[in-house]
Chain A
Amino acid sequence: AQKITQTQPGMFVQEKEAVTLDCTYDTSDPSYGLFWYKQPSSGEMIFLIYQGSYDQQNATEGRYSLNFQKARKSANLVISASQLGDSAMYFCAMREGQAGGSYIPTFGRGTSLIVHP
C-alpha cells in the first residue's frame, strides 16, 4: 500500500484564486512529519511547509497553509492568492519516526499545478 497518496495528477487554477492540493498518508507510527515541496521545471525541490504529528495547530508559511486532519490522515496544501510562479509540480512527503535510524522520507507521486492568467 502506498504510504503517501496524491490523487490529483494535475490541477488548474486561475491567478489570484486559492487552490487545495490533496495528500493522504498511511502510517501506524504515532510520531511522523509531513512535508510539502515545490519543484518547478528547473528541477530544484523547494521546501514549502512542515507539519509534525503532535503539532496542535495547522502549519502556515506565507501563502501556504497545511490543512492537517489527523483522524482522516490527510495533509492538504492550500495555496492562497495563486501566482503564475506557483506553476510547478508539488510533492507531499512523510517521515516516520525510526528510533536510532536515519530519516527516510516517502514521497507521493506529485501534483502538477498550472496557474492561468
Chain B
Amino acid sequence: DTEVTQTPKHLVMGMTNKKSLKCEQHMGHRAMYWYKQKAKKPPELMFVYSYEKLSINESVPSRFSPECPNSSLLNLHLHALQPEDSALYLCASSQDPNTDTQYFGPGTRLTVL
C-alpha cells in the first residue's frame, strides 16, 4: 500500500479566511513533505518533517504554518493568503528522510479569491 491521502481535493478561500489542508499516510513513513505546484511547473518544496520534527522550511511565508501531530498526519494551516498562493498543494512521504522514494498524495487545488 503506497497511499497518501489529502483532504480536501478542492478549496476556495478568501484572503481573510483560515483553513487547513490535511495529509495522511499509514505506511509507517517517518518523513513527510509539503510541495506547492503552479500550473505547468515542477513542484516546489515547502517543508520537510523528519520524525515529526520540522527539519526544512524553504523560506516559506508565515501565512503557511505546517503541523505534524503524529507520524501519520501532516497539516498545513493557511491564514491571510494572497491570490498568488493559488496552486496545487501536494503532500508526500518517504520511509525516512534519507530514503529515496517519495510517494505523493492526489493534492489539494487551492484557489484564493
Contacts and interface: CB of A to CB of B under 8 A. Distances in A.
Interface size class of B (residues with CB under 8 A): 20 to 34
Contacts of A44: 104-107
By secondary structure, the A interface counts as loop
Contacts of B105: 44
A42 B37 CA distance: 13
A50 interface: yes
Given A103-B31, A107-B43, A95 B104 contact: no
A102 B55 contact: yes
A42 B105 CA distance: 11
Nearest to B104: A45
A33 B98 contact: no
Contacts of A98: 98
Nearest to A6: B42
Interface of B: 2, 31, 40-43, 45, 48, 50, 55-56, 88, 90, 92, 94, 97-107, 109
